[in-house]
Amino acid sequence: MNSIWPLAPGRLGGSRISPIWLVLVAVIVAAALVSDRFLTSYNIASVLQQGVITGIVALGMTVVLIGGQLDLSTGAIVMMAAVMALLIGPDGTLGITLAVVLPILAGATVGVVNGLAVYRAGANSIVTTIGMQFFLIGAVLATVSGRHVRATAIGDAFTALAQARPLGIPFPVFIFAALVIVLAVVMSSTVFGRHVYAIGGDADASRRSGVNVVRTGIATFAISGALAATSGVIIAALVGHLDPTGVGGYEFPALTAVVLGGTRLTGGVGRPIDTVAAILVIAIITNVMTILDYQYPIQLLVQGIVLTGAVAYYNWRGEA
Binding site for other proteins (CB under 8 A): 70, 117-118, 121-124, 126-128, 130-139, 141-142, 145-146, 252, 255, 259, 265-266, 295-305, 307-308, 311-312, 315-316, 319
Q: How far is the CB of 255 from other proteins (least distance, A)?
A: 8
Name the residue nearer to other proteins (CB basis): 1 or 121.
121
Minimal CA–CA distance to 58: which of 271, 238, 313, 300?
Answer: 271
Q: How far is the CB of 198 from other proteins (least distance, A)?
A: 21
- How far does Cα 58 stand from its chain's mean position? 2
Q: How far is the CB of 163 from other proteins (least distance, A)?
A: 30
Name the residue nearer to other proteins (CB basis): 92 or 309.
309
Angle, CA 232 vertex, CA 281 and CA 115 arms, to 5°: 90
- How far does Cα 103 stand from its chain's mean position? 16
Name the residue nearer to other proteins (CB basis): 182 or 298.
298
Bridge partners for 241 per DSSP: 150
Angle, CA 177 vertex, CA 272 and CA 60 arms, to 5°: 40
Name the residue nearer to other proteins (CB basis): 2 or 308.
308
Q: How far is the CB of 104 from other proteins (least distance, A)?
A: 22
Q: How far is the CB of 279 from other proteins (least distance, A)?
A: 17
Q: How far is the CB of 126 from other proteins (least distance, A)?
A: 5
Contact 204, 228 (CB under 8 A): no
Name the residue nearer to other proteins (CB basis): 198 or 258.
258
CA distance 35 to 200: 41
Contact 60, 235 (CB under 8 A): no
CA distance 221 to 240: 28
Name the residue nearer to other proteins (CB basis): 69 or 188.
69
Name the residue nearer to other proteins (CB basis): 154 or 259.
259
Q: How far is the CB of 92 from other proteins (least distance, A)?
A: 31
Contacts of 30 (CB under 8 A, 6+ apart): none
Contact 215, 67 (CB under 8 A): no
Contact 241, 86 (CB under 8 A): yes
CA distance 312 to 317: 9
